[in-house]
Amino acid sequence: MSGYQQDKSFQGLAAKFARNIYGTPKGRLRLKILRDRMLAELPLDGPPLQVLDAGGGLGQISAWLARKGHDVLLAEPAEEMLAYANKRLKRAGVETLAASIQDLSECLPDHQQTFDLVVCHAVLEWLYQPQETLELLLSRVKPGGYLSLMFFNADALMFTNILRGNWQRALQGEMQGKGKGTRLTPISPLQPDQVLCWLEKAGFEIISKTGVRVFNDYLRLQLPPEAQPERLLQLEKKYCQKEPYWRLGRYLLVHAKKPS
């Protein structure tokens, strides 16, 4: 559990989020890997799905799913983030809701509504009680429905800090952020096996485990001219689900199915 005893708020951070998370090569790489695996592993090319994008942020995934013909609801508690998302989603036909995962039971018109696909990308690591919130989220998946869950990898955070020479911090195990100010270090980075255990205990079938950015974030040296970006993308795609590389992903993407 995080030492910071409330969820991280992104109010006032939308511009920084757009710039630092999505407006960079690593952000674009993240989206490419996400879309690639979602297309390969989820029934996105079939009949329209009812989709909940929980903590959908700036709306990139919601807009993409809507363009593929799905009925998408984006829920986001930060007003500024939601305003950014609404600009993006205005023509996409995506419904938006100012609500956290914890507030869905009160904010949804149908308090018991469930969905064919629940998307939750890069949300749990910002929560004070990620396990409890995940349990609420799983209840929103229809029987036979799917979960697309991505979270910040605690093991990758440890590895990165060791490579950067933050050895005392690593020895103390103090990797998580403090949840204050504008820093974007998650307050609750998660252990991969722990999250997989939570899903399996809830009865979900694990479809796939993908490391998102298994190499990119560890590159520190000046790269040679022949190290072309498209080759790195090829390597990321080739090794993102292979042992031991997937476990080094900055984020881990898990696709799971709820029993019918």
Q: Examine residue 200 and state whether it is found in any structural domain, yes or no.
A: yes
Q: How many domains does the chain have?
A: 1
Report field, pTM of the whole predicted structure over 0.85? yes
Q: Examine residue 4 and state whether it is found in any structural domain, yes or no.
A: no
The predicted model gives 106-126 an average pLDDT of 95
CATH number of the CATH domain containing 82: 3.40.50.150
Q: Examine residue 247 and state whether it is found in any structural domain, yes or no.
A: yes
State which residues form the domain around 174: 14-257
pLDDT band at 21 (very low <50, low <70, confident <90, very high): confident
Flag whether pLDDT at 8 surpasses 80: no
30 is annotated as contributing to ligand binding = yes
121 is annotated as contributing to ligand binding = yes
Q: Examine residue 7 and state whether it is found in any structural domain, yes or no.
A: no
91 is annotated as contributing to ligand binding = no
Q: Examine residue 9 and state whether it is found in any structural domain, yes or no.
A: no
Flag whether pLDDT at 93 surpasses 60: yes
The predicted model gives 224-236 an average pLDDT of 84
Q: Examine residue 89 and state whether it is found in any structural domain, yes or no.
A: yes
149 vs 175 pLDDT, higher one:
149
Lowest-confidence pick of 14-18, 28-32, 162-166: 14-18
Say what angle helices 229-239 and 25-41 make with each other, to 10 degrees. 40
Flag whether pLDDT at 165 surpasses 80: yes
Q: Examine residue 106 and state whether it is found in any structural domain, yes or no.
A: yes
Q: Examine residue 2 and state whether it is found in any structural domain, yes or no.
A: no
With a pLDDT cut of 70, the percent of the chain lying above it is 90
Q: What HEC string does the chain produce?
A: CCCCCCCCCCCCCHHHHHHHHHCCHHHHHHHHHHHHHHHHHCCCCCCCCEEEEECCCCCHHHHHHHHCCCEEEEECCCHHHHHHHHHHHCCCCCEEECCCHHHHHHHCCCCCCCEEEEEEECCHHHCCCHHHHHHHHHCCEEEEEEEEEEEEEHHHHHHHHHHCCCHHHHHHCCCCCCCCCCCCCCCCCECHHHHHHHHHHCCCEEEEEEEECCCHHHCCCCCCCCCCHHHHHHHHHHHCCCCCHHHHCCEEEEEEECCC
- Tokens read off for 103: 């507030």
Flag whether pLDDT at 4 surpasses 50: no
Q: How many residues are recorded in the chain?
A: 260
- Tokens read off for 222: 């000046």
